[in-house]
Structure 1
């Protein structure tokens, strides 16, 4: 399994050996199949030109900066995004700090300063609807014209559509996850949606039920539907463990803050404080309140059996899925 792409904190911090690269520009939240098509073009151009493969993205997400009262629900936080890009062969992800000052830069400054001076880009790869600069005054035509003057070629990528001829987008994937349709989300992503976090201490109710769990707090409680999922957990050492996870507020007990609680099959270790990733393979049922602990445990036994069966038949959706979840 390949490692993550290097993370560079801004275009002005790019190491000299990475200058002169082919640069894909965008937010790339989810690194979905459309984004992967962009990276495939990036890789082809970089191989042809013998140049580094770079991605220029923006942190935090520009829409969150412009509308802080409605922050973007992130599919892939920056560290996970860098890991996914690394699996796709990207050398480095330039995480350009995005704030209101940067947003006020005119389009000319973005091209001349960020792309040409700081990155030394030789070829740019952008989407068909790419806009940039203050008041979104820059577009692909502007980029082509100014890039030609500065020695930067531009390749524009058409929208990527799925088998139903619908454009693949991060917003569609968010909607699928909110509706607990992790299979549909995986079809758009090209890999099983994955979360990362550090295992913390919970109320340890699972231990008393014979189902000790590894607990994580998700950064955004509104993105994934509460319920029971078949999952695969990857430890820091790369080992994989199948399991069943409950995401929600434990209505049978305390109805408290939302937790992602994973019970690992055939595992008897201590994961406290360990950074892990968890890939979602299937949705089993919604969150329920049970009249008794005994009824809950009976249902958990059924959930575990269903998750085992689902995971036993799972196969990689793509090379990226194989790297992430297998």
Structure 2
């Protein structure tokens, strides 16, 4: 295999590398627990000199089973794939999670998808991963069936952060509560978003703080406030301060991520940026005057610069797809 391959339900058999070792999971965030599973997959693949693939599902099964419930995803599909590529895998099998897949038993999934279609040699999963109709598939089931199938199964235990296992839900809660350091520790790298720079009201220019504006997913649960961030653009990283919120001093409008890049004066409209969240500075608030707002922005910028200087350039490791 060359490059990071993405295999889907309609990928022809001739394009599927048989005999791979796979890491199975939803991988929302690709956090430390996920990385332990990926590490076990890579180790097995190295010994067997086989490709190492992730097997994952889109949309997230939660979205299928609860379509009307807001779903704060840590990583959408493109971000997840870039993180999986950056983790050293050779590719990902992205399976569509629909009514047919939800009705597939764990037994059929193992025998038809993993063995029949992929011809896997080994499977790595986390201790709490379940799959198949009614979540009937479990790590114990895979371990039990492994000898008859002639495959190796590795089940990774939980990784704890404080008194609780690292999980996607725990990271979401940390971001909702502005606990950026905790989220970063559980992820193993800063949480990031990706978006296209759009035109805004251009108030920042008049304030001396021209911003690059990005509209995030409406279901993003990140706490509104001011953040020290690092921006990825064209293989380079730039320090910045950002506001995520509704701009209560002006219009209290739809949530927007407004980024002021330090020591930067290039045009960014229409470009796609990666924005990694390094530290929380303060809550969003309404100011009684523009002068008071600018004084606070000056202070925010100084605090963001200090936080970024102490951070030593951390940024998620992202691979290239295709």
Match of 2:198?
200
Match of 1:315?
312
Match of 2:263?
266
Match of 1:241?
238
Q: SS where residue 23 of structure 2 aligns?
A: strand
Match of 1:34?
33
Aligned equivalents of 1:49 and 1:11: distance in 2? 27
For residues 148-187 of structure 1, what are the structure 2 equivalents within 5 Å? 148-162=147-161, 164-187=162-185
- Segment of structure 1 superposing worse, 44-53 or 140-149: 140-149
TM-score of the superposed pair, with normalisation by structure 1 = 0.92
Q: SS where residue 164 of structure 2 aligns?
A: coil
RMSD value, Cα: 1.9
TM-score of the superposed pair, with normalisation by structure 2 = 0.93
Aligned equivalents of 1:4 and 1:205: distance in 2? 43
Match of 2:215?
217
Conservation of the 8 A alpha-carbon contact between 2:104 and 2:133: yes
Conservation of the 8 A alpha-carbon contact between 1:248 and 1:259: yes
Distance 1:11 1:38, change over 3 A: farther
Number of equivalences:
317
Distance 1:12 1:141, change over 3 A: farther
Match of 2:225?
227
TM-superposed CA distance for 1:12, in Å, is 5.1
TM-superposed CA distance for 1:112, in Å, is 1.0
Conservation of the 8 A alpha-carbon contact between 2:242 and 2:258: yes
What's the CA shift string for 1:143-180, capped at 9, x where partnerless?
A: 23444333222111111223x35210111100010011
Distance 1:95 1:71, change over 3 A: farther
TM-superposed CA distance for 1:139, in Å, is 2.3
What's the CA shift string for 1:185-209, capped at 9, x where partnerless?
A: 1011110111111111111111111
Aligned equivalents of 1:280 and 1:167: distance in 2? 22
Structure 1, unmatched stretches of 5+, are none
Match of 1:276?
273
1:257 matched to 2:254 = yes
- Segment of structure 1 superposing worse, 35-44 or 258-267: 35-44
Match of 2:50?
51
What's the CA shift string for 1:220-240, capped at 9, x where partnerless?
A: 4441000000011011x2111
Aligned equivalents of 2:137 and 2:65: distance in 1? 18
Give 4+ residue runs of structure 1 displaced > 6 Å after superposition. Answer: none
TM-superposed CA distance for 1:108, in Å, is 1.8
- Segment of structure 1 superposing worse, 47-56 or 116-125: 116-125
Distance 1:71 1:288, change over 3 A: closer
What's the CA shift string for 1:208-265, capped at 9, x where partnerless?
A: 1111100101114441000000011011x21111110000011000111110000001
Conservation of the 8 A alpha-carbon contact between 1:12 and 1:119: no
